[in-house]
Amino acid sequence: MNSPLDVKDLIDLGRDPVVVFNPPSIGTPDRIERYHAALEWLIGRERPFVLVTRADGDEASESHEDRKSRAVWFKNNLMALAQVCRGFVYVEQDEARRAAWQVRAEGMAKTFPVPMIIAGDMEAAITQALDLVKASRDPAPGGSPHA
């Protein structure tokens, strides 16, 4: 992607189709625009992937405008994202916050068309992401693979 919002520093394709996403921190200039541009770049590749990212404990300090912008983006792009994204794996080392993220993931599962998993560390996250990749390649009950 060659634009003012270059996102290559946010995306690690070293384990592709497992993609490690390092979104900009809250307060970073153009944070939401770069966040969305990175996801759009991944969608534009038209290749299945599983996204691994940290569970962002700073979301409570995110501005209302940024939360609204992300919500609108996901509403408008969810189906395109679901065409290529086989799952989200969030890394949260703190056990209590991990449990809270698990509750959040279970609530979002009702509207989010891809699995959301909460892992305790990056190694577990990569393992679980690879499991999602494998599951998406295995034949579905109807006999055709997901990917």
Q: Alpha-carbon distance 92 to 66, whole Å?
A: 22
Query: Which band of pLDDT confidence, cut at 50, 70 and 90, is reported for residue 130?
Result: very high
Q: Alpha-carbon distance 96 to 114, whole Å?
A: 24
For 27-46, the pLDDT digits (tens) are 888 889 999 999 999 999 99
Q: Alpha-carbon distance 120 to 110, whole Å?
A: 23
Task: With beta carbons less than 8 A apart as the criterion, state whether 53 and 87 touch.
Answer: no
Cβ-based neighbour number of residue 94 at 10 Å: 12
Residue bearing the bigger pLDDT, 84 or 8: 84
**Residue 62 DSSP symbol:** S
Residue holding tokens 């590749």? 45
Task: Report domain extents, the chain.
Answer: 8-137
Average pLDDT, the chain: 86
Average pLDDT over residues 130-143: 74
Average pLDDT over residues 3-32: 87
Q: Alpha-carbon distance 144 to 138, whole Å?
A: 8
Looking at the predicted structure, is the pLDDT value of residue 143 above 80?
Answer: no
Which of 139, 104, 130 shows the shortest CA–CA distance to 17?
A: 130
b/e per residue 69-84 (b: at least 16 CB within 10 A): bbeebeeeeeeebeeb
Domain 8-137's class?
A: alpha beta
pTM summary value: 0.84
For 70-103, the pLDDT digits (tens) are 889 999 999 999 999 999 999 999 999 999 989 9
